[in-house]
Structure formats: structure tokens, C-alpha cells
Structure 1
């Protein structure tokens, strides 16, 4: 049988790509032919993002305005920005091309997807913030499988809403969409409670990146350690000067070299050794060999737990419930930093064996839930 998955695979984010890969591998391990729907909305295309950057950047607008033929200059700037954005996505694109089975066709709108339906026996909404209307700029029916025929099975695996509460208007809009699902699972406690308040049953399961154990992830490792000394790995998704300062102090306290992921040119000027746009395989290498991790990312927290690495997590400005949920589940709530003057996490050890035991138990429970959800429908046929 064939499973088609829709998720946020085309985002310039390591966690998004890796959870896509993990979701694919989960269904493959259960014996299904698996395909990821290559859905990329117009507002995620490099050319659109380039226009957005130009519209927000007053300095670049002034550069264009100073020239007599400002329209030509604007076009040139958009072209250069498009190339830059596309280049930043290269590590993700290369990994997907090599490891993820995408639909032959790319879809750039919901109507295009609905009118040119990819054929499958089962349709799946994957993980990540697929149901976060704030993140997605509104309710996108594609991520609610609105395009899938009524007579086809529909499942959500570790979907994320991101918010602990949503408006009554949004509830009214998404209820009929969610009611079409045969089985729903989510990856944070707040989502279970939110759906329950709407009269919808859901199961709390692990994020797909945690459904693969550390040995399975290391098969994708780029090879020998990229850094030949002990290091504090900093994976930061949100600008935060206090976090930058804390990283320097923490590295000094631990007597470790500070290594940071670089996403923008400005990252090169920050303290520590910056590795710009590493490959996805290098991402795994850097985490699996780190001595300590400092992050404001859910997936970086998940990989730290999976690899048994000591870490400190910081909640992002928005959508932090998923980090709180996984820390609660693994009984590692003391790894959450709420005071940038607090370095006590350095002294506190993580009970790695206990964390692994919890993850193993939750993996089995998640696979059992998924197998039961699939078999119930198959037995009806």
C-alpha cells in the first residue's frame, strides 16, 4: 500500500527536513511504499522571500532609490537575494534529493494540489508546525488533508499546533477538517488538551526525529568528528543578545570551545567558531559529538536527548510549548533556562539511562498506536 505524506519539508530548517526523513522511514519500516508530497507554497519560494526581504529592508530600498532606473536596480537586487536564499537552502535540498522520495510534481497552491491529486491509499499529515496558523500565515487546508478523497484513510502523525489556545473562529474552521481524520496524534500535551476541548480525540506521541534512535541517525553521519576537541554547540534560531552572552560565559565555565551554526552573514561576527550552512549530515555529526548543547530549538533539544548529550534549552519568543512538553515527558525540566545568570545546569547531570528508557517506551507506544490506527482501517476493507 502507498502512503503520501504532507509536512513542512521545504522549510530552510534542519529540524523540518530531518523530521520529514524520519516520518518517511517510520512508514517504510512498517512496509508501506512512501512518498512525500512536494508542496511548496508561493510564499516559501526563494523569489517571493527575496521580495519580502527587500520590502522590509529600508537600506536596500534606499540603494535602489538613489539610482535613476530604480526598477532595474530592484530587479537586480531581487535576483541577487533569490540566489542567496536558494544557496542557504542548498544543504536541505541536497539531502532531500538524496534521501527523500518526493512526488514527481511540485505543488505551489492548495487548488493545484486538489486538482492534480497525487494518488495514494493513505494520506498522512506529518509533524512540525503544520497546524500553526500563526506560523503558516492562516489556515492552509493542504496540511489538514482537505484535498484527500472522503473514502481514503487520513492520519496525523505527531502534528503540532504550536499554540496552547486558538480563537473560536479558527476552531470553527478547522473542526470539520479534523473530523475527517481516522486517527490523530500530536506531539505536545497542549495540543491534546486543545483538541479535547473541541470534542476531538488525539494521542500524544513522540516527534518523528525521536522515533529513530541514535544509532539509526548516526548512519547518516558525515564521518569522523568535524571538531577535534571538546566543544559547546550553540544552535540558535532566534536573535537573542542575552543568549549570545550566556553562550560565551557557559563555554568558558565548561572550558569548551564555542561552536555555533551560522545562518546569516551577521553570525560570522559573533563570538565562537561559526560553521555556515553545514550539510544535514554535518548537522548530525556536530550534535552526536558535542560535549554540551545550548539551544532555543525543539529539534536541537530532541537530538540532544536522543544522543545523550548534556544541554540547556531556552524557550523561543513564541511556540515554546513543544519544548516544555518534551522536557516534561523525559523528566528533564531542569534543563530549561529561565534566568541568564543561572549556570546550575552545568552542575546537574542528566540521567541518560532513564531518558533512553523513557524514549524506548514512548517509541514502542507510538509505533503501537500507528500500527493499530492503520490496521483498524485496513481490516474494514
Structure 2
């Protein structure tokens, strides 16, 4: 297919699950590209029986180590059987996610098998991966999120892709170098991602903002109008992991300020949120998630995107590392973003001994940083997608 017959960009996004952040960053990515007049399609790729991994000696080592870790965790880890409320909640969240994809995303193309993926890629000017944690070490052995499926002549773009880890193990370097060197426009979301790529390839990846930051507070309010989900006068707790000490801190803050605690029940863990929350919400949409942040007096979270929308909406916020059984810590994204905005004092590392900062966040300063970061990131995106 010649250049004149190609059009638009094929998007490799983390859009399939029920995570609010993943859904909203997928929406923001497609929205920002189409705002630039670019036709997009979201690739709903199913592997079939082929090409999960690029097989090499390193791949066998990586798979063996990964299998050993998962086997150990499954055998010796404490299993939690969810109660009926959590089972119903998880089912409801999946249905809500499906509805959001139907309402807010479009041009989702189902591709069954690697051959279909390659053939579809031939129709695009470019393919793009991003954002979220789509480049863990094992992406080195994948043909999909590495964009190795793209034929010659099709531009490869990474926008704000997160590695989610502090470093890659040495035995993935050779394969990682191959795919990273083929990315035409290379950007990452965090400093650690930059350092990993620099060490492996010598290339300087551009550090850009999460796509949700590309949309201003005012523009988000036009896209998702501000509506009251529950009565005001509350602290919003949104936790994806298990952190009873952090939840106790939320309760302490609320009692000190004579506020209620409102939370959305997690669909990823099965903790008893009645230990700290006055109102436990289920069945909330991604739009509700944003509006609960907008109308809160303060937000406590272990979620990158709950922190993100707190900053966009200039809310008082405290963030902690996520604690989740069977999941390795991926704290560098939180470390990165609080350092970027100069709000390290709002990162709670020791809930037992944390002292609340009663001085409001200086959003005159923070919002200016966000605007400049967004502007630089938009310029990268403009350059990467020019002519698509």
C-alpha cells in the first residue's frame, strides 16, 4: 500500500479493563489526536495462537523467572475470597466500563490473530502505543505493545508510555534495544523510563505528561459536566490496593475537619471499607469518579489518575504507594509526579506518623507547571503525528 492510500493512526491502548484511569487516558488520547484532525482507530487485538513472545534464550529465562514468581505467590500467598458485595461490584464495574467504551470511545477494530494485526497496520500512516504501564520488561518479547508488528513505512510512536518499574533485568536488554531503536518518536511518562531507555539504547526519550493532562480543567468540564454525586462536605477516599493504615489516616483527617468519608468500593481488592468510610459507593461511572474528586474537600488515594484529576481540579490531595498482594510495587510513577509538581510533602510513606500539612497546595505554582508541561508534551505530539 502506498503512502497516499494510508490514513490516520492505529492506537494500542490499555482500554479493555474496568480501571477508571485506564479508560480516561484512552479517551484523552483519542480525543487529543482527533482534535488535531487525525483519524484514529483503537486496536482490539486478540493474539490467537501466535506471537505472544519473540522467542529467544532471554525470553525463556524471563518466562521461567516470571512463572516461578507467580507459582510461589499463588502457592504461599494468602488467598482472599471476595464476599457477595465485592463480587457484585466487580461485575457492575465491568458493565460500566463496557458502557463507557460504547459512549466515549469509537472506531474500535477487532483483530483476531497476528496476521490480521499486521494487515491492518498497513492501512495506517502511524501506530501509537501509550500511555499507562504498557512497557514492563516482558514487552521486549512482544510484537504488539512494542509496535514490532508495524510494517516498514508505518511510523512508530510512543506517547507517555510508562515502564512501571525501576529498571529492566539485564537479560531483556538485547530484545528491548531492538524494539526501542525502531520507535520513530519515543516518549515516556516518567524519569525512570527515560533512564531505562538511555541505559539500554543511548537514546534520549522525551518525558511527556499523561494524556489526561493535555486537556485543561475548563475543557474537561465541557466534556464531562460537573454534577453532584453525593451531598457535599466529604473527604473522598479512592484506593485500589490494601492499605488499612492509610484508610485510618483518612478517618483521622475527616474527624479533625468534621467531614464525612466517601469512597468508591475497589473492584480489585476485597477489603472491608466500612472500617473507615461513612458512605461506600458502587456502580459509579468514570464521570462520577471525576465529579467525586471535583466536589470533595480533600482526596486520599493510591491511584495515579485520582491524583492526576485532583491536581487538574486543584484539590487538596494526599497520595500513598499502592499495597496489593501478588503485585510488585510500581511506586516510581508516584515519586515522579509528586516531584514534578513539587508536592512531595503530600506523599504519605508512613501513615502511622504522618503529620498533615494544613497549608493549602500552592496551585498558582502547580497549575503553571502543569500548563507548561502540557504545552511541551503537546508540541511533541504535534511533531510526532504531523502528516498523519
Shorter-chain TM-score range = 0.7 to 0.9
How far does residue 342 in structure 1 lie from its aligned partner after superposition?
4.0
Instruction: State whether residues 135 and 164 of structure 2, in contact with CA within 8 Å, keep that contact through their aligned partners in structure 1.
Output: yes
Matched position secondary structure for 1:39 = strand
Structure 1 residues 30-39 or 352-361, which shifts more? 30-39
Task: Give the Cα–Cα distance (whole angstroms) in 2 for the partners of residues 116 and 82 of structure 1.
Answer: 37
Return the match for 2:96 from 91, 96, 100. Answer: 91
1:275 and 1:41 map into 2 onto residues whose CA distance is 36
Q: CA deviation at 1:103?
A: 2.5
- Which residue number in structure 1 is paired with residue 16 of structure 2? 10
Flag the 1:235–1:84 CA change in 2: closer, same or farther, 3 A. closer
- Which residues of structure 1 form unaligned runs of 5+? 43-53, 61-80
Q: Give 1:172 deviation, angstroms.
A: 1.4
Aligned partners of 2:294, 2:88: CA distance in 1, in Å?
Answer: 31
User: Any runs of at least 4 consecutive aligned residues in structure 1 with deviations exceeding 4 A, and if so which?
Assistant: 54-60, 81-86, 109-112, 115-118, 264-268
8 Å CA contact retained: 1:21, 1:99: yes
Structure 1 residue aligned with 2:184: 182
* 1:300-339 correspondence to structure 2 within 5 Å: 300-317=306-323, 318-339=329-350
Q: TM-score, normalised by structure 2?
A: 0.81
Segment drifting more, 113-122 vs 187-196: 113-122
1:101 to 106, 110, 128: 106
Partner SS state of residue 160, structure 2: strand
CA contact (8 A) 1:221 1:282 kept: no
What is the aligned residue count? 344
Which residue number in structure 1 is paired with residue 359 of structure 2?
A: 348
Structure 1 residues 56-71: aligned runs within 5 Å: none
1:170 counterpart = 2:172:
yes
1:125 equivalent in alignment to 2:136: no
Query: Is the contact between residue 160 and residue 189 of structure 2 (CA under 8 Å) also seen in structure 1?
Result: yes
1:279 equivalent in structure 2: 285
Which consecutive unaligned segments of at least 5 residues does structure 2 have? Answer: 1-6, 49-73, 324-328
1:102 to 1:305, Cα distance in 2 relative to 1, 3 A: same
Change (3 A) 1:41 1:267: farther
Contact 1:230–1:291 at 8 Å: present in 2 too? Answer: yes
Does 2:218 align with 1:215?
Answer: yes
Tell me by how many angstroms 1:143 deviates. 0.6
User: Are positions 1:295 and 2:298 aligned together?
Assistant: no
Q: Could you say if the C-alpha distance between residues 267 and 89 of structure 1 is closer, same or farther in structure 2, counting changes exceeding 3 Å?
A: farther
Residue 313 to residue 118, structure 1, CA distance change in 2 (3 Å) = farther
CA offset at residue 369 of structure 1? 1.5
TM-score normalised by the chain length of structure 1? 0.82
Task: Write out per-residue CA displacement over residues 338-363 of structure 1, whole angstroms, 9 at most, x where no aligned residue.
Answer: 22134533413200111111111111
Deviations 1:217-243 (A, max 9, x none): 223436531122211111101111212
Measure the CA separation in 1 of the matches of 2:99 and 2:365: 36
